[in-house]
Structure 1
Amino acid sequence: MTAEAADRTASTDEGDRRRQQRGWYFYDFACSVYSTSVLTVFLGPYLTSVAKAAADAEGFVHPLGVPVRAGSLFAYAVSVSVVLAVLVMPLVGAVADRTGRKKPMLAVCAYLGAAATAGMFFLDGDRYLLGALLLIVANASLSVSMVLYNAYLPQIAEPDERDAVSSRGWAFGYTSGAFVLVLNLVLYTGHESFGLSESEAVRICLASAGVWWGAFTLVPLRRLRDRRIAEGKELPPGQGAVGAGWRQLVATLRDMRRYPLTLSFLLAYLVYNDGVQTVISQASIYGAEELDLDQTTLITAVLLVQVLAVAGALGMGRLARSYGAKRTILGSLAVWSLILGAGYFLPARTPVWFYALAAAIGLVLGGSQALSRSLFSHLVPRGKEAEYFSAYEMSDRGLSWLGPLVFGLTFQITGSYRDAIISLVIFFGLGFVLLARVPVRRAVAAAGNPVPKRI
């Protein structure tokens, strides 16, 4: 029996497959706390305050002798982390597929990110450079680890069950994000009763996300299994994985031209996902500056999004079983456009309407992301999962600056955050058109995969 045949036999063992799926869910459970508590809520304002403490009279810090406005440090550090991740992701994906050792590489990325996050406990005083470095390492590590994590999906789930499995993974992530955020908010708002300063409470919240990430990563590392490399794909004697990885990367870029329908889906995903990410990253600015809402309202709204995203991911997974992933995603893009339209007319200083908008975002956020991931898994040629998912992650991260640029330019020209938020409709409208034009059943067949009954 060949390695490929053996793997196909293993993948049909339902008990083993279910066990691996349950382990796979827990990486979302582990790392989503970083995205919620660290990146979305606590680190941006705190790192900015640390940078301001180190700034000169004009409000600038000087990392490596370069003048940087203290208020821009967080955004620049995130941008650097995105560039670093985009450079590393294709290489890691190629090496993983060429060596068949995704799990050790997942462990390295996860624990590097978790350690950097836990190290944020030491971010105090004027240590803005330490904070920027830890942010770059943690954010890039998370992005690279997601390439490896997503590449397991075709291996552990049959074609007809991937929508449900992907949706459950997102639901696990949003559940942990909401749970830890509640604990962090209790600590933060009641820090004096715990005998802590505000700075100490924030640093504990940051570090706890790293500890959580590292602890629960043990579950997928115990349950997931690496797949044996098919005959003829092993590394030649004397060749290192890194060198072979670079050569494989070049081959992958050429190979992707053979699957134009897969590339068409990636283009559609790049466009509409950029809109999704921009709404999430800019919602707090819109709420604070245009709607005049306080920090407590904004943080509570983030928590509401996390809670409802669990139900949204599971609910849209069920809809996909009846209507197919493509139609369900298209429906979610229409809802996203309606959300932006409602946001444009949202009255200022009315938290209840902002909470209603947050609830709507939560209900479509998890499902649109989960179903996009599962749909793409059908379009990946067998044996090239990590390489192609690196391209998927690059679509997710690599152009994530475009939406904020449109948002910022619109505000700069019009002076209105309402005009800026409505400008993002173009991403969902164009993404809808591009996705609608992709014949997904033909794309699955062209990639050499079995076509599910509903897709």
Structure 2
Amino acid sequence: MSTDTVRAGAAGEAAERRREQHGWYFYDWACSVYSTSVLTVFLGPYLTAVAKHAADADGFVHPLGIPVRAGSFFAYAVSASVIVSIFVMPLAGAAADRSGRKKPLLAVAAYLGAAATTGMFFLDGDRYLLGGLLLIVANASLAVSMVLYNSYLPQIAPPEERDAVSSRGWAFGYAAGSLVLIANLVLFTAHDSFGVSESTAVRICLASAGVWWGAFTLVPLKRLRDRRAPAASAGQPSAHGWRQLAATVRD
């Protein structure tokens, strides 16, 4: 094999790696808007207000028949989403590692989360249970998708590039989160000028994060590629995931 052929092959591999890296950055660009606008700024106060609207005379709501202070409902929903994530993430990670099919799993997690977030537009009146359910689904989906997203890094960047590639991914996420949050705050603070109520403005802000998440997820799904799993990894990924989780709990 000639030197020119080797160089051409190396250049082609480098170009393909950069293409995947650029696609990888865009998942942080897609999903960070949820963390910034929805989870950090808008959903907590709004879902609390919805829960208080549905509360009884003593200030309690009763999800699944359990009395919960309306002002604490958002915090309980977040806690429930963390518990769900703890059980689902190892299963998704094991399934991706053992099947080699990370991209379909990433697509399912991302679009489930994006759909749940977009569905928050319908969170009005006293629909606190809908809000809690959508929050749990969106948070757990984000957690699973980030496990799959991060698992691509060793495949698309050699050790000497990983810090730089990871930092660019974070930068893309912060840039998107800041950009959309500014737009959302403009809509929220000047909602009268846009001819919408404050409640409607918040629901538009929530739903816009889901639309953004789903739209820009198309970029990594187009550019990232799956690798064939080693033959030794074949088997039952769900059982392997539960064994990994049990080992983690023991440790």
TM-score by length of 1: 0.51
Q: 1:132 is aligned with what amino acid?
A: G
> Aligned residue for 1:69?
69
Whole-angstrom distance in 1 between the partners of 2:83 and 2:42: 23
Aligned to 1:24: 24
CA contact (8 A) 1:11 1:156 kept: no
Counterpart in 2 of 1:137? 137
Q: Which residue of 2 aligns with 1:118?
A: 118
Residue 25 (structure 1) shift? 0.3
Find the counterpart in structure 2 of residue 55 from structure 1: 55
1:10, CA displacement in angstroms?
9.1
Kept in 1, the 8 Å contact 2:117–2:207? The answer is yes
Q: For 1:250 and 1:181, locate their aligned partners in 2 and report how far apart those are by CA, in whole Å.
A: 38
Instruction: Report the residue type matching 1:103 in the other structure.
Output: K
Counterpart contact for 2:33–2:173, Cα < 8 Å: yes
CA distance in 1, matches of 2:242, 2:129: 35
Q: Tell me how far 1:90 sits from its aligned partner.
A: 0.5
Secondary structure in 2 matching 1:133: helix
Distance 1:125 1:23 in 2: 40
AA at the equivalent of 2:222? R
Contact 2:53 2:126 in 1 (8 A): yes
Letter in 2 for 1:246: S
Q: What is aligned with 2:5?
A: none
Aligned length: 241
1:246 paired with 2:228, answer no
- Deviation digits for residues 276-320 of structure 1, max 9, x if unmatched? xxxxxxxxxxxxxxxxxxxxxxxxxxxxxxxxxxxxxxxxxxxxx
1:64, distance to aligned residue in structure 2 (A):
1.2
| Distance in 1 between residues matched to 2:38 and 2:10, nearest whole Å | 38
Indicate how the Cα distance of structure 1 residues 218 and 42 shifts in structure 2: closer, same or farther if over 3 A, else same.
Answer: same
Residues 12 and 254 (structure 1 numbering): CA distance in 2 closer, same or farther, change over 3 Å? farther
Find the aligned partners of 2:165 and 2:98 in 1 and give their Cα distance: 26
Determine if contact 1:93/1:147 at 8 Å carries over to the other structure: yes
Q: Which residue of 1 aligns with 2:84?
A: 84
C-alpha displacement of 1:231: 3.2
> Cα offset for 1:247?
2.9
Q: Give the deviation of 1:252 after TM superposition.
A: 4.2
In structure 2, the residue matched to 1:161 is 161
Please list the CA deviations of residues 115-147 of structure 1 after superposition, one character each: whole Å capped at 9, or x if unmatched: 000000000001100000000000010001101
Q: Which residue of 2 aligns with 1:221?
A: 221
Partner AA of 2:188 in structure 1: Y
Q: Give the counterpart letter for 1:249 in structure 2.
A: G
Going from structure 1 to structure 2, the CA distance change for 1:13 and 1:137 (only over 3 Å counts) comes to same
Report the CA distance between 1:254 and its aligned residue.
8.6
RMSD over aligned Cα atoms? 1.9
User: Would you say the 8 A contact 1:21–1:157 is kept in 2?
Assistant: yes
CA shift in 2, pair 1:130/1:10, >3 Å: farther
Shift of residue 248, structure 1, vs aligned partner: 1.9
Q: Is the 8 A contact 1:28 1:169 kept in 2?
A: yes
Distance 1:251 1:65 in 2: 34
- Structure 2 unaligned regions, length at least 5: 1-8
Q: Greater RCO between the two (CA within 8 Å, min separation 6)? A: 2
Shift of 1:251: 5.3
Does residue 35 of structure 1 match 2:44? no
Identity of aligned residues (%): 73
**Quick check: 1:11–1:17 contact (8 Å CA) kept in 2?**
no
1:197 aligns with 2:197: yes
Query: Is structure 2 residue 91 aligned with structure 1 residue 107?
Result: no
Give matches, 1:46-445, under 5 Å: 46-235=46-235, 244-249=236-241, 252=244
- Cα distance in 1 for partners of 2:134, 2:96 equals 25
Name the aligned partner's letter for residue 147 of structure 2: V
Contact 2:115–2:210 (8 Å) recurs in 1: yes
3-state SS of 1:13 partner: helix
SS of the aligned residue for 1:32 comes to: helix
Structure 2 CA distance for aligned equivalents of residues 220 and 167 of structure 1: 17
Equivalent position SS for 1:18: helix
Q: 2: CA distance between counterparts of 1:136 and 1:106?
A: 18
SS in 1 for 2:228: coil
TM-score normalised according to structure 2 size: 0.92
8 Å contact kept, 1:114–1:210: yes
* Residues 43-101 of structure 1, C-alpha deviations (whole Å, 9 max, x = no match): 00000000000111111011111110000000000000000010011111111111100
